[in-house]
Structure 1
Amino acid sequence: MDLPVMPPVKPMLAKSVPELPRGDGLSYEPKWDGFRCVVFRDGDEVELGSRNDKPLTRYFPEVVELLKRALPPRCVVDGEIVLVTPDGLSFDVLQLRLHPAASRVRKLAAETPASFVAFDLLACGDSDLTALSLGERRRRLEEVVSEVPGVYLTPSTTDPDVAQDWFTRFEGAGFDGVVVKPLDGVYEPDKRVMWKVKHERTADCVVAGYRLHKDGESVGSLVLGLYQDGELRNVGVASSFTAARRRELAEELAPLRDPAEHPWSAWATYEGPGMNSRWNPQKQLQVVLLEPVRVAEVRYEHVQGGRFRHTARLVRFREDKTPAECTFEQLEEVPPAELAALFGAAERRRTIEQ
């Protein structure tokens, strides 16, 4: 491979802001919920690079073949690998595509094919384009990418009202939010020079246990539950604690450890006493069960498959709340949006027919 921009490239990043920035000279795009991926193509040689420098190429052979049809012979394109279902984007199913067995990779590629969304052009032919403005890179990207079912250009607008509509209307399809980029900005790898606005809400949850930190003693994350039809169901975890706070939590929760009775004692529907990692089903995560009497207010982005899509963040413990008040009814329901409005009917047919 011989390109003007060579792998690995750490993609340009965004910093979180609470509200959608408005002003002249800004470009708005949907924030995709998938694997960030920088594509390097030199003829028949294609490499899919991730944001952590670990190649994704072997896991998505169907995407490689699509990119050979959609991209120019020599180019570097920044984008996102996503997995489209009739109900929207599914990060959970996408995560399962990272399987070590080649036979399993081939099977999943046929059963749950992924798509690629292009949103930046770093090089084309013999030209390094990273020093050009975003506006110029976008213009060239539109000229060189051939949209085929499975490869798409991300929608882009300079109208903040349109972006605000995306933020609200397409959340049900699994989008994370909106990314805002300066039109005159150059491409700066691994720098947070863009902005992102993501959906955030709060919920009161039962603290049903905790996962041990890798030190084997302190709290790594709190295991959260909500009641549904009288059953306490696992909805995810809250973490991101400092080392000092992890130790404090272990001491604070010690009196509640290993209760004589617990609704999850048998782990009948919770994948064994260690609780499997959501992202790595082969990995067991040791969980300490707690008497389910404490309530925590947590901040989350959105719910997918009955669980928090991302790790929640602890806001505070609520001594004024009872566990019985922690129900699924408090969660804001977001109706599924029509994903075809962005992808087109061809993508939905491609997914359904697989």
Structure 2
Amino acid sequence: MDLPVMPPVRPMLAKAVKGVPDPAKTVVDDLAGLSFEPKWDGFRCLVFKDGDEVELTSRNTKPLTRYFPELVAAMREQLPERCVLDGEVFVAIGKRLEFEVLQERIHPAASRVDMLAEKTPASFVAFDLLALGDTSYVDRPFVERRAGLEKALGGLSGPCYLTRTTEDPDLAQEWFHQFEGAGLDGVIAKPLGGAYVENGRTMMKVKHERTADVVVAGYREHKTSTPERPLLGSLLLGLYADGSLQHVGVSASFTAVRRAELIDELQALVCPISEHPWSAWAGPEPQAIANPDRVPGTQSRWSAGKDLSFTPLRPDLVLEVKYDAMEGRRFRHTAHFKRWRPDRDPTSCGYDQLEQPVSYDLASVLSGGE
């Protein structure tokens, strides 16, 4: 492989902002004007293609090629002869993206990779151009990179796609609300005059932010905790469904001082696991495979080797957290602590309080709504 831009490359990143920015009032590095595009919820992926040679690398430059043989075959057919692209690998089931299904594609067994490639095939959506032919585009403004993308990738109908863009902030605001129903993650804004800055946070991302009242059901100790100086690592959170307390995620954003205070404050609520709502899940050995209910204290292929033991607490405390999205019946990412809610009855904290995005067909996102 001999391309103008060669791996490893760390992709350009985005910093979080509140609300879709106004291009007329936004100047990034003295560059006016913004291009907006959907924020895809998948695996960030850089594609290096030189003839029949295709390499896929992750955000952290780790190889992805072996996990997506069906994409490699499609890229040989659909993409330009020699190119370097930045984009996202995703899996769609029905009308929406399914990140949990995508996670299953990362598996060490070649036989399972081949089976999943047929059962849950992945797609790739391109949103930036680093090289085309013998020309590097990394130092060119995004407006030129986008024009190159449209010329090279226009008309793709899958499994490789070109993302939609707009310079209209009002349309971007519509996308922000509509596209979540198809499983997308928000909106990205890129300076029209900006170069491709490897590993630089030169883009802006607008993600959904919501709040929920949740029950504190336990805690894990911090990795630096010691018997002499115990520190809280994370709070285990629960929501009630049909009278049963379900594990919904964790909250872990605390200062070192607060970690020490919290673990001390919570000691009065420590209880034996036999008296805890999750006692039925306490087995003699952790489960070795991914559990669809994400039972606390069990292993998955993503957490193998980590200490997932926790200290059970009587489910008497309620706190309010911020979260961006759900993944099945759990928070997609770590929830952020907002405040304690002593006014809330723990048993009143259920899934019915969570906002549900309006359903939207992924095909409309990929086809331009036509």
Q: TM-score, normalising length from structure 1?
A: 0.92
C-alpha deviation, 1:250, in angstroms: 1.9
C-alpha deviation, 1:280, in angstroms: 4.5
**Which AA in structure 1 matches 2:163?**
T
CA contact (8 A) 1:266 1:273 kept: no
337, 351, 357: which one aligns with 1:334: 357
144, 154, 160: which one aligns with 2:163: 154
1:302 matched to which residue of 2?
325
- 1:243 is the counterpart of 2:256: yes
C-alpha deviation, 1:305, in angstroms: 1.2
Alignment of 1:16-95 (within 5 A): 16-24=16-24, 25-95=33-103
C-alpha deviation, 1:35, in angstroms: 0.7
Query: Which whole-Å CA distance do the structure 2 matches of 1:8 and 1:125 have between them?
Result: 18
Query: Which whole-Å CA distance do the structure 1 matches of 2:162 and 2:305 have between them?
Result: 35
2:184 matched to which residue of 1?
175
2:208 matched to which residue of 1?
199
258, 261, 266: which one aligns with 2:275: 261
Identity fraction in percent: 57
1:6 matched to which residue of 2?
6
219, 224, 232: which one aligns with 1:210: 219
C-alpha deviation, 1:185, in angstroms: 0.8
Structure 1 residues 273 and 191, CA, compared in 2 at 3 Å: closer, same or farther? closer
**Which AA in structure 1 matches 2:64?**
L
* Two-structure CA RMSD over aligned residues (Å): 2.1
2:312 matched to which residue of 1?
289
C-alpha deviation, 1:66, in angstroms: 1.2
Query: Which whole-Å CA distance do the structure 2 matches of 1:58 and 1:221 have between them?
Result: 35
- 1:297-328 Cα distance to aligned partner (Å, 9 max, x none): 11001223121112211112222222022111
Query: Which whole-Å CA distance do the structure 1 matches of 2:331 and 2:296 have between them?
Result: 20
1:98 matched to which residue of 2?
106
122, 130, 134: which one aligns with 1:122: 130
**Which AA in structure 2 matches 1:63?**
L
Query: Which whole-Å CA distance do the structure 1 matches of 2:307 and 2:169 have between them?
Result: 44
Structure 1 residues 213 and 87, CA, compared in 2 at 3 Å: closer, same or farther? farther
Query: Which whole-Å CA distance do the structure 1 matches of 2:40 and 2:302 have between them?
Result: 18
2:336 matched to which residue of 1?
313
- 1:214-234 Cα distance to aligned partner (Å, 9 max, x none): 346533221111112211111
- 1:220-259 Cα distance to aligned partner (Å, 9 max, x none): 2211111122111111111233333333322222222234
**Which AA in structure 2 matches 1:69?**
E
Q: Bigger CA drift: 247-256 or 112-121?
A: 247-256
Query: Which whole-Å CA distance do the structure 1 matches of 2:262 and 2:104 have between them?
Result: 32
- 1:45-98 Cα distance to aligned partner (Å, 9 max, x none): 111111111111111111111111121111100000111111411111111111
CA contact (8 A) 1:37 1:51 kept: yes
**Which AA in structure 2 matches 1:171?**
E
**Which AA in structure 2 matches 1:188?**
V
Q: Bigger CA drift: 227-236 or 3-12?
A: 227-236
C-alpha deviation, 1:281, in angstroms: 7.3
**Which AA in structure 2 matches 1:264?**
W
**Which AA in structure 1 matches 2:277?**
P
C-alpha deviation, 1:196, in angstroms: 0.6
Gaps of 5+ in 1: 346-354
CA contact (8 A) 1:11 1:51 kept: yes
Query: Which whole-Å CA distance do the structure 2 matches of 1:299 and 1:273 have between them?
Result: 20
Q: TM-score, normalising length from structure 2?
A: 0.88
CA contact (8 A) 2:163 2:366 kept: no
**Which AA in structure 2 matches 1:266?**
A
117, 141, 146: which one aligns with 1:138: 146
CA contact (8 A) 2:36 2:169 kept: yes
Gaps of 5+ in 2: 25-32, 283-290
- 1:82-119 Cα distance to aligned partner (Å, 9 max, x none): 11111411111111111111111111111111110000
Query: Which whole-Å CA distance do the structure 2 matches of 1:166 and 1:279 have between them?
Result: 32
- 1:179-228 Cα distance to aligned partner (Å, 9 max, x none): 00111111111111111110001100001112333346533221111112
2:175 matched to which residue of 1?
166
